[in-house]
Amino acid sequence: MSDSKPPVVCVGEAAIELTRAADGRFATGCGGDAFNTAIYLARAGLPVSFATALGDDPYSDGIVAMAAAENVATDLVLRVPGRLPGLHLIDPGADAGRRLLRWDAGAPAGELFETEHWDRVAAGLLTARLVYFSGITLSLFSNVGIGRFLAVLEVARKAGSVIAFDCNFRPHGWKGDLGRARTVFIETLKRVDIALPAFDDEAVLWGDPSPETTVERMQAFGITEVAVKNGPASALVAASGERLHVPVPEAIEPTDMLAAGDAFNAGYLAARLQGEKPPEAALAAHRLAGEVIRHKGSILPRAGGAIH
């Protein structure tokens, strides 16, 4: 990938997380899929900015402080007076599974491209080497916000930015409106260079019977690089006219599957930005995701959070 545009910009939500322990007590943190990916990209030594909107409350201050501590730039974080960030409740389940309940209604992140100074965010995207976001990001926005965001992506792409997208489909985020989700995703995929879908999401939204079908559908939009995450077994990478199944290098009994996909995306994009070919990038992505699922929570302790 070209080095002419150094920054990476991740667009999405950073919310307050309440995690319930087995004894019923709650621990407070913060996270979000694009935010998690931004942190792991920064730990890989890449210059990263996170684009979102927050309130002017102490919890929003805490999110900004965490980003700064992780070397994630906050120049594209807009602050909206009198507002509060979203709230996520994480309930532990069996087999390393977790139940995530979200209260995002009214959170300013959903108005990122409608609030005052949204043009500052747009300008930041136009200078990015790579812009990353997800289907969860899109689910936060109104039709007006989505229209503005996609228009900015189109201009950024023409100016040389690489657009990376994880479909990350969550039905509740779209209020069960699969038709709207499909319409938005179709328009989005027309503007994507690197797709990082998870096969189980694609099977729910599109009825894909196999990862190969997902690749073919993505390629029909002109996407030249696709890495389909396929659970604990492998990833299917399609680029430069070739397809390759990249297996997980080590079978791991997970402690917590939260943020496995976010880590995979960060590992993959970091490796690609550092000059690795897609199959090697998928292997690096597997390794980072494997480290993340050994631990509880979205973000590894600092000592174990670097991408090697």
**Residue 190, Cβ neighbours under 10 Å: how many?**
13
231 — alpha (psi -120 to 50), left (phi > 0) or beta? left
Alpha-carbon distance of 71 to 43, in angstroms, equals: 8
Catalytically annotated residue among 166, 208, 256, 262: 262
Alpha-carbon distance of 133 to 113, in angstroms, equals: 14
**Integer angstrom CA distances of residue 285 from 57, 83, 139, 211, 280:** 35, 36, 25, 17, 9
CA atoms in the 13 A half-sphere facing the CB of 132: 29
| Whether 262 is catalytic | yes
Tokens coding 60: 């929003």
Strands 98-103 vs 77-79: parallel, antiparallel or unpaired: unpaired
Alpha-carbon distance of 235 to 143, in angstroms, equals: 32
Alpha-carbon distance of 163 to 225, in angstroms, equals: 11
222 — alpha (psi -120 to 50), left (phi > 0) or beta? left
Q: What letter does residue 198 receive in the DSSP assignment?
A: B
Tokens coding 279: 């199959």
Contacts of 23 (CB under 8 A, 6+ apart): none
> Could you give phi then psi for residue 268, rounded to 5 degrees?
-65, -50
With CA atoms as reference, report the closest residue to 161 among 213, 124, 216. 124
Catalytic residues: 262
